[in-house]
């Protein structure tokens, strides 16, 4: 957040402008990332998730659309609408997230914890390398069945012309362990970053942004990676939503809680 201001009914948070837009748009553009590119991205996402976990926050909505790419090639996590603050040992029970990225325990409904984010990391790594999530099916009910019951299949390098290294496969399989108690990451970020697939990543250098990114967005214009329908809206089309009278009454009732909030 860069700064914040407020008016009678709203608080406005002004965020950093990330020129590269969503990782999803880049994945669609290139179809698949190389393993080195995927590794660079995955390491950052893992460290970001770990930072949230140390603050007792479950992210719960990891997907390429919620990962932003800076024009320097480094990533940021966005959209915390499904995030949840939990206490030590607390189990969350809400059903939420994006279908392709849901963990088995979310579908079964027997409670989830931090490891739900490590499952999603495994899905993300697979999708970045292969180009499609591992359990994807157009029929959502079948996809949910695959998530709960099916093993992870990797493409045939000869037939599909897509190769996934043994180390990458092993990491993905251990992150996509259907048992959250034995899933890689259950004991923290170190057991993920210590996996052989990440051995070429210098964690300290990565956090200091001293690694030359293997992929950088070609930012030809500040808004090149943003929805052009939104970019091309005229001033007359851009308007704040109307605050219903009932909501206004509630806001005014609790207004004192926000006196000087943005000063």
CATH assignment at residue 125: 1.10.510.10
Q: Which of 4-8, 172-176, 205-209, 228-232 has the lowest mean pLDDT?
A: 228-232
Over residues 219-240, the mean pLDDT reads 79
Whether pLDDT at 206 is above 90: yes
Closest alpha carbon to 146 in 189, 117, 103, 196: 103
Q: What angle do CA 169, 166, 40 make, to 5 degrees?
A: 70
Does residue 248 fall inside a structural domain? no
104 pLDDT band (50/70/90 cuts)?
very high
Q: Which residue of the set 61, 113, 117, 177 is catalytic?
A: 61
Inside any domain, residue 123: yes
What domain count does the chain have? Answer: 1
User: Is 258 domain-assigned?
Assistant: no
- Mean pLDDT score, 7-31: 92
In a domain, 262, yes or no: no
- pLDDT over 80 at 112, yes or no: yes
Q: Is 109 exposed, middle or buried (0-12, 13-18, 19+ CB in 10 A)?
A: exposed
| Residue 260 counted as domain residue | no
Q: CA angle, 202 as apex, 204 and 211 as ends, to 5°?
A: 85
Query: Which residues form the domain of 62?
Result: 22-207
Does position 102 have pLDDT exceeding 90, yes or no? yes
Mean pLDDT of 119-127: 98
The question of whether 177 is a catalytic residue gets the answer no
Q: What is the mean pLDDT of residues 63-69?
A: 97
Mean pLDDT for the stretch of residues 123-129? 98
Q: Is residue 17 part of a domain?
A: no
> What integer best gives the mean pLDDT of the chain?
94
Q: How many residues does the chain have?
A: 263
Q: Give the pLDDT of residue 88.
A: 81
- Which residues, listed in sequence order, are joined to residue 67 by a DSSP beta bridge? 77
Q: Which of 8-22, 223-237, 246-260 has the lowest mean pLDDT?
A: 223-237
Whether residue 229 lies inside any domain: the answer is no
> Is pTM beyond 0.75 here?
yes
Indicate whether 142 pLDDT > 80.
yes
- Would you state the structure tokens that stand for residue 73, as one six-digit string? 């090639």
Q: Is the pLDDT of residue 221 over 80?
A: no
Residue 8 lies in a domain: no
């Amino acid at each position: 957040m860069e700064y914040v201001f407020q008016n009678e009914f709203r608080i406005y948070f002004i965020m950093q402008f990330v020129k590269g837009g969503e990782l999803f748009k880049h994945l669609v553009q290139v179809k698949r990332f190389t393993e080195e590119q995927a590794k660079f991205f995955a390491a950052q996402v893992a460290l970001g998730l770990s930072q949230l976990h140390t603050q007792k926050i479950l992210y719960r909505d990891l997907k390429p659309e919620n990962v932003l790419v800076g024009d320097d090639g480094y990533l940021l996590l966005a959209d915390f609408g499904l995030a949840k603050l939990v206490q030590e040992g607390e189990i969350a029970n809400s059903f939420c997230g994006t279908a392709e990225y849901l963990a088995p325990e979310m579908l079964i409904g027997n409670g989830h914890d931090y490891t739900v984010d490590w499952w999603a990391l495994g899905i993300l790594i697979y999708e970045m390398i292969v180009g499609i999530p591992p359990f994807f099916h157009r029929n959502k009910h079948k996809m949910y069945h695959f998530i709960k019951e099916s093993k992870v299949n990797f493409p045939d390098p000869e037939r599909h012309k897509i190769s996934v290294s043994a180390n990458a496969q092993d990491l993905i399989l251990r992150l996509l362990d259907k048992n959250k108690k034995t899933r890689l990451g259950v004991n923290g970020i170190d057991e993920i970053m210590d996996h052989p697939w990440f051995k070429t990543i210098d964690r300290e250098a990565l956090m200091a942004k001293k690694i030359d990114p293997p992929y950088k967005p070609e930012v030809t214009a500040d808004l090149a990676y943003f929805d052009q329908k939104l970019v091309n809206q005229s001033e007359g089309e851009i308007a704040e939503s109307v605050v219903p009278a009932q909501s206004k009454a509630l806001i005014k009732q609790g207004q004192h809680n926000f006196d000087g909030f943005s000063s």
